[in-house]
Structure formats: C-alpha cells, structure tokens
Structure 1
Amino acid sequence: MKEENTVSLLELDRKLSKIIRQARNGQVLVTNRNKPWVRIVTLKANAQAHQVPAKHPLRQLRKALELDGAHAIALWQAVADPPLGIIPASLSRALLLQMLYSIDTFKKLYEKIGYNLAFRHFVGVEPCGCLWPYRQFERAARAMSQSSLMAAPAEIVLAHPITESENGREFRIDDALLHRWRAQANLADSAAERLIPPSAGVLSPSSALPAAVLQQGASRRCIDREQTG
C-alpha cells in the first residue's frame, strides 16, 4: 500500500479540491492540532481493503469456473445472436448464485449483487462499479436460464470439493432450478445428436466439460432419476 500523505485541518480548508485529487493516488491523513483526525480514502480503495477473503468459497468456485475455457467460448458463441448486452461468463456466474443460495427472483438476485462484495467479486463486477440496468439484466438472465447453457457451469461448482465442505455450508442449493437446467441440457444434447452425426466433430453443450465433471453430473442425474422414479 502507498504511504499516506499528511495534511493539517487548516491546509485542508485552503486546498480541499487539490487534496481530494491527491487522495486518488493514496489515502491522506488529516491532522488537527498535530494529532491524527481523519483519513480521506477513495471508495474503491475502501472497498478493496474489505475485499472477499481468500478462503471464501465463492473465490474458489470462481477460479474453478475460470479454468474451464472451453465452456466460456461456448457461452460467447451461444449468445452472439441475439446479443444479451452482458458478458456471458458474468451472467452465468450471476445465475449460479441464484442456484447456490436459492434466490427465488431475478430482482432479489440483482439487489444482492448490488450490495454483497462476495457476490460482486464472483460475478465480476467492480466493488464500486454500477450494475447493468435491471430490465436488461432480467431479460438476459431469463434468456440464459431458459437455455441449455447453465447445466455445464452448475456441474462444475457442484463437483468442487468446497461445495460439500464445512466452508460450503452457507450454500442452499435450489434443486428445482438445478433439475430444470439439467433437463434443458439433456434435451439440447438429444436434439443435437439427432441433427448432427457424432463423426461431424461438433461439440454439444455438455461435451465442453472435463471428464471428471461429466462423471459427477452423470452420477447426480442418476440420483435425480432414482428420487423421482
């Protein structure tokens, strides 16, 4: 961290605008009668000082998602027409929060991303950055949630050890939403197999996933069928 500057209260009164500009480059300590009084810190610096802990489960889940480059590319291609106006990877992570914490409406999800630093970091929104307009977010989130795209990242986070660990106890998985995403992906895979021969070398939505994740997803689908059978 940069060394803080020190100014007197009298100097602050005389050169306020200049000192405020100075605070953009590092916090400024204001003294009153030669004693520390207040610090001037930018909102961004203040937010960064209270950033998400390194061991927070959402940090680890985001790293796992970022390693899956193939799926990120698939997301970009899938939403290119029509454009949703929001980075697909960020939008998919926002929807994962809805599943992980059983958030029942897009409005509540949007509000929680607005004030929760851990959610902001996971989605990819700057600590003090503005969110997208709500109507744009709702339209994009609804479109992606109703597509076959969300099962893949959902399987990645569910297969991560942190989800079942002590640190992952804060998660309250929305099983109904997860089941719907899996059903949509299975339907899309079946349609793709009917239209495109396997020898064509075209990836289905789930084939972009690592083998271990696919195995985990298959196990969970078997459990779902046993429970609903």
Structure 2
Amino acid sequence: MISYVSLEERIGKDHPLRKVRQLVDGLLKSMDGEFSQMYSRVGRPSIPPERLLRALLLQIFYSVRSERLLMEQLDYNLLFRWFIGLAIDEPVWNHAVFSKNRERLLNEEVTQQFFARVNQLASGFMSDEHFTVDRTLIEAWARQKSFQRKAGDGTQDGGNFHGEKRSNETHESKTDPESRRYKKGKGQEANLSYLGHIVIENRNGLIREVMSTQADGQAETDAALLMAAKIARPGKRVKLGADKAYDRKDFVTTVRELGVTMHVAQNNKGRRSAIDGRTTRHEGYRMSLSKRWLVEKAFGWMKQTGGLKKIKLRGLDKVGWLVTYTAAAYNLLRIKTLQEKFA
C-alpha cells in the first residue's frame, strides 16, 4: 500500500510536542561542533548523537521504562518517529545497540552542555536573585541482598542478613558499589540510594543547577555549597531558601561568605537555629519559604514522570548524567508552557 500522507501531516498542528521539537531543533543545531567530534571515521556507523538525545527525551516525557520498550514504540509509533527524525520505513535500532551507543556517546560533559543550552533559552524567565535548594533520594538499581561485607570471607552471601549489623563502612553493594544505604529519617527503611540535588529559581520554578552525589549525611550541604557558589553574583545579594535539614551553623556561615543569604526553615527542636530575627523579620524570608513547593514540584515530575524514583543505571557517573538530562527535559516543558503563556 502506498501512502501519500507524510509524517509531518499526520502530527496535529497543535500537538504539544511541536513546540518542544522546535526548541530541541535549535538546541541541537547549536551543538553541531560537539556532535561532529563524536562521529567515528572508521568502523560501522553509529547512531547519530542528535537522534540519541531526541529518543532519550521521549523516554523521559512518556515514562518509557526501558530501551527495549522504547525501540518497540519507535517501530510503530509515528509520533515518536516524527520527533526523532526517522522516516516511516526506516529500520529501528536494536535495543542493545541503542544502549551501547548511549553509553559511548553521551556522558556528563555532553549532558551539562545540553542543560546549559536549555537554560540559555530559559534565561528570560529566570530570576537571578531568589532561589531554593533541596535534595531527593534516588533509589539505586540494586537489591538489599547485594549489600555484603567488603572483605568477606565467603561465608555470607547476603541472602540472610537478619541480626547482622551492616553499615557503609563495612559493607558495599556487589551490584552497584557506588550506591550507599541511606534513609530519609528516623524509623524509616534504609535503601541503597543516591542523592539528587537541584537549585530552582523562585519566579517560574525552572531548575538553575543540578548535580548528583553518593548518599551520606554531609552530601546535601556539600552539594548546596557548590551550587550556591555558581549562583552567587559579585556585588549583589542572592537569597537561597531551604528546609530544616540545611539549618547548620557552619553551612549557613560559609554560604554567607559567598554573598548568598540563606533563608532556611528554622530548626529549634532541642537546639538553636543558625539564623535569627535579623533574617526572619524580613518579608523576603517568608516569601522564600512560601516558594519551597516549587522544588517539590520539580522533584515530583522528575521521579514520577522522568523515572528517577528508582534509577535503572548503575554508577555515580551514569546516574549523574541521567539526573541532569531529566532536569533539562523538565525545563524544556516549562519553557514551552511559559512561552505560550506570555506569547
């Protein structure tokens, strides 16, 4: 059967992905120099990095849980083919080939460049004075039984660990050695996890900075310090909101030295807060705390829609670039919405 209707004609003029595709086209065109260096002049042709990035965006947007299912969708979903740039009769890649090319071509450096280009597009919608920082727990792709002694004698295989004292100092996951056992609070289960950290701007809830770390008690403030240094502006006081977990005297003092005023929620339970009335009396402090829901909204989308609730990659490097790329995908959808709102 011969069809005279092109893929372009099959996609509705008002489809939400049309505007996203226009944004992605411009972003990828601006990265032509980086992509040209990735093509090998020998061996079999690889999947173009531009198509890899487009396919990964679709996987995030539509919560496709595996590369195998993504390739299945590409085989029959005309919308997916149109977005990536595949012709209607063009063969789809093998899922293993797709995964290998993704690991070889896409890394933290490329993802950070893409995230930076997305934020250049969003610059007109971003505040440069008011921000919020937070972190979220990302469950690793490893079972509790894989958490075994680092220098085991072979008598314990992790199958029966009841009654055994286990810690990150003496044990590690044999499946994902860079993951760490971590729990959100007292009385909660400790799972093998990573931490994702973001800084959002408080005007429209766009993600300004993002990074991932191993899960430990010091990581949240260490990451916040690194991100605070990036948003600091010489000669201008920047405000950074945060929850009670960041109410630590040494952390607040160090951030202030960077030229950033911390608007943390006070933790006065059995201790003295790191901030006092000189900060809390201002209306700006109350406004900062009222904007904390924006960071929860971003994390909620990244974990439920973007698939970061339980990440399917292993190792901090891979987890880091996927978290960053998911943040870029979130910002792309926000930019589309904001451009339509203020058109």
Q: TM-score range by the shorter chain?
A: 0.3 to 0.5
| TM-score relative to the length of structure 1 | 0.47
Whose strand proportion is higher, 1 or 2?
Answer: 2
